[in-house]
Structure 1
Amino acid sequence: MYDSITVAVAGAGFIGPVHVEGLRRLGIRVKGLLGKDLEESTSACKQLNLEHPYATFEDLLADEEIDAVHLAVPNVLHYSMVKKSLAAGKHVMCEKPLAMTSEQSAELVELARKSNLKTAVNYNLRFYPINLNVRDRLAKDDGRIFSVTGSYQQDWLLYDTDYNWRVLADQGGALRAVSDIGTHWLDLIHFVTGLEAEAILADLTTVHPQRKRPLGEVSSFTNDSEKEQATETIDITTDDCASILFKFKGGAKGQLFVSQVAAGHKNQLKYDIATQSAAYEWNSERPNELHIGRRGDLNQVLMKDPGLMTGTAAPFVNYPGGHNEGFPDTFKQCFRSFYNAILGDTSAGESLYANFEDGHRELILCDAILESHEKQAWVRIKE
């Protein structure tokens, strides 16, 4: 089905190779990859068995075989690379956040509209089958949503010796934990519930106002044993954790806690959605289970099973019940939705991937979160 498409990936760090794997599992040809320089590009292509290392982004865009570009590069590069990709006539799948500011993302939304190209932001957590199932359940639920509570917690930046480019405001943006992982929760909740935030109260904390940066870059999620090298002390202004309250249109309330300094939590997103008829609780570290709470009936635990998945979820479940689908599968399924749209085949009845408008929404929310923290007051979301 996808043999008419050729893709190139920009980014040789943690996520770039994940994109390559997800694309290949769909049968999409990945011709080559761009690293920070030709040496890194060549090394990554050798490791991933890709045929073409690119020396520069301009070289990648000049390749007439490339139909779509996947951007898995530091946040500060997203805006310029998206603009160049659209100008070169390439479809774009961009890692989150879409840009460094909402002004930049607004411009990208408009450019995407004018381009007649398909554009997406990789909010892959939408594509756990359980989340697609919850979306269907809430769409059919006659009862209104009362509240949404949850968290996204990691521990990979727990120590002041933990360092990555994401901690730097000029590389990742003024927000870090909120932007890096909190926006996944924000997007997922909007996707499954349809709720729109109208006001936000936020409190941000920088646990380590100074960190020790190795004299020589390190990759994301580096083992502790690999960090023993000379360091320099640098000032940090970005958030390590955050507490956020939401008022949603229609009266529902929300609460989110985000942390990248929570020991033992490797990559845990949780939500609990309370409605008139039931409550739905999900934990990304047990992604194939959904807890369904009832008032006047037995509680249930739904295990991911294609025999029980209908509607939106059905086309995005590839393994039988008892055969778990996890993090790498969400990339494959997100890319399936994106390339189905490119090919004009939306068999699920809609394009389920996050588009640039969704990416822009998250940056508007981030603006409000930062403003609320600075004012220590409720802030209304700008339309």
Structure 2
Amino acid sequence: MGKLTVAVVGCGSIARNRHLPEYAGEEDVEIRAVCDVVNERAVEMANMYGAVAYADYHEMFKDEEIDAVSVCTPNALHAPVSIAALEAGKHVLCEKPMATSSEEAEGMINAAEKSGKKLMIAHNQRFVPSHQKAKELIASGEAGRIYSFRTTFGHGGPEGWSVDGKRSWFFKKESAFIGAMGDLGVHKSDLIRYLLGEEISEVGALVENSAKENIDVDDNAVCILKTNSGIIGTLTASWSYVSSEDNSTIIYGENAILRLEDDPVNSLIVHYKNGEIVKYELGQIQSNDDGGQTSTHVIENFVSSVLQDRPVPVSGEEGKKSLEVILAALDSSETKQLVQLN
């Protein structure tokens, strides 16, 4: 096929800062349409990228020229919009968390199978160089058996990042469904599954709303996770880290400790048991603090998967498993019990 013709649903911050500029940077892509319930936003982005503005995504999906769609809406709309796009015969790149329930995620996966179109979830942490290198060191056995880990993602909250500031949908349960755990925690449940190459079998969590006023979703969560092979560790997600962002992960293995995104200069530092220390400068992870790296590599991976007709690097099934860890954490916090995952 020639150029990939794309449309973006939702013209908030993630579309403005990631999807639209990254699509525009791909020479094989034409941005054909944008959609937002706030008309001025859609018009502004349409003018910027030479696209057509829509207020209703159902109308937009009638355009047969659109090959692929990015879903950049509030979380509660991810599943309905993705399913509508797949049923209209479009490939879909959906932001995370992919859905608000296992059933919704399953519906998206089924819609993709039925339509024969691709469904990719935008878990960008898999494309961070330090994470890819660490996965390699773990998979090759260089780090030895893995015993434990801790992974965290925290910053001051979406007010500084969202186009709506303090009035953002991120803080409203009906549109966001979950707070810091959906915004940040699901990145880390996906990352841990990716790094260790294992599924999470057990989850315990305390999920709180303790730092921000007038919000009805979580802003601080601490989880304990256990994998199939018995690796145990912690996952924290927070909107209450008031200075700089923390996006670090530490893996404790038999032969080495791997420190990922824990040092401002060296994105991966490996401390070997014999005292040797290896530092990798692999380029920093993208951050909302400073614009970060120019590309999340999500868009380029999606585009090339569609154009070359190969499997997407983060499938709907993968997105669903990462979501289910977060759902289990919410369940654990409510029931005060450890939750088993199949």
Alignment size in residue pairs: 328
8 A contact 1:128–1:287 mirrored in 2: no
Q: Which residue in 2 is equivalent to 1:372?
A: 332
Q: Which residue in 2 is equivalent to 1:314?
A: none
Q: Which residue in 1 is equivalent to 2:4?
A: 5
Distance 1:113 1:206, change over 3 A: same
Q: Which residue in 2 is equivalent to 1:139?
A: 139
1:242 aligns with 2:221: yes
1:112 aligns with 2:112: yes
SS of residue matched to 1:328: coil
CA distance in 1, matches of 2:31, 2:81: 18
8 A contact 1:99–1:105 mirrored in 2: yes
8 A contact 1:147–1:252 mirrored in 2: yes
CA distance in 2, matches of 1:100, 1:32: 26
CA distance in 1, matches of 2:20, 2:268: 29
Q: Which residue in 2 is equivalent to 1:152?
A: 153
CA distance in 2, matches of 1:32, 1:254: 43
Q: Deviations over 1:108-143 (max 9, x none)?
A: 112222221111111112111221222222211152
Structure 2 matches for 1:275-314, cutoff 5 A?
275-283=253-261, 286=264, 289-304=267-282
Identity score, percent: 26
Q: Which residue in 2 is equivalent to 1:329?
A: 295
SS of residue matched to 2:301: helix
Q: Deviations over 1:147-201 (max 9, x none)?
A: 1112111113699x9442111111111x211111100011111112212111111
Q: Which residue in 2 is equivalent to 1:193?
A: 196
Q: CA deviation at 1:100?
A: 1.6
Structure 2 matches for 1:65-104, cutoff 5 A?
65-104=65-104
SS of residue matched to 1:297: coil
Q: Deviations over 1:83-128 (max 9, x none)?
A: 1101100000011111121111112112222221111111112111
Q: Deviations over 1:233-292 (max 9, x none)?
A: xxx331110111111111111111211012113x43110011222221112784862111
Q: Which residue in 1 is equivalent to 2:302?
A: 338
CA distance in 1, matches of 2:302, 2:79: 20
Distance 1:289 1:20, change over 3 A: same
Q: Deviations over 1:296-335 (max 9, x none)?
A: 1321211128xxxxxxxxxxxxxxxxxxx944311xx222
Q: Which residue in 2 is equivalent to 1:357?
A: 317
Distance 1:49 1:341, change over 3 A: closer
Distance 1:59 1:181, change over 3 A: same
Q: TM-score of the superposition, structure 1-length normalised?
A: 0.80
CA distance in 1, matches of 2:148, 2:211: 32
CA distance in 1, matches of 2:75, 2:218: 16
Q: Which residue in 2 is equivalent to 1:36?
A: 37
The amino acid of 1:154's aligned partner reads H
Structure 2 matches for 1:9-24, cutoff 5 A?
9-17=8-16, 18-24=18-24
SS of residue matched to 1:130: helix
CA distance in 2, matches of 1:3, 1:328: 25
The amino acid of 1:283's aligned partner reads E
CA distance in 1, matches of 2:333, 2:125: 27
Q: Which runs of 5+ in 1 are unaligned?
A: 212-235, 306-324
CA distance in 1, matches of 2:318, 2:329: 17
8 A contact 1:10–1:72 mirrored in 2: yes
Q: Which moved more, 1:195-204 or 1:30-39?
A: 30-39
Match of 2:169 among 140, 150, 165: 165
- What is the alpha-carbon root mean square deviation over aligned residues? 2.3
CA distance in 2, matches of 1:157, 1:55: 24
8 A contact 1:199–1:379 mirrored in 2: yes
CA distance in 2, matches of 1:74, 1:280: 34
8 A contact 2:130–2:261 mirrored in 1: no
SS of residue matched to 2:44: helix
CA distance in 1, matches of 2:91, 2:265: 30
Q: CA deviation at 1:54?
A: 2.0
Q: Which residue in 2 is equivalent to 1:124?
A: 124
1:255 aligns with 2:224: no
CA distance in 1, matches of 2:263, 2:63: 40
1:271 aligns with 2:235: no
CA distance in 2, matches of 1:345, 1:83: 20
Distance 1:80 1:273, change over 3 A: same
Match of 1:207 among 197, 206, 210: 210
Q: Which runs of 5+ in 2 are unaligned?
A: 284-290
CA distance in 2, matches of 1:327, 1:345: 27
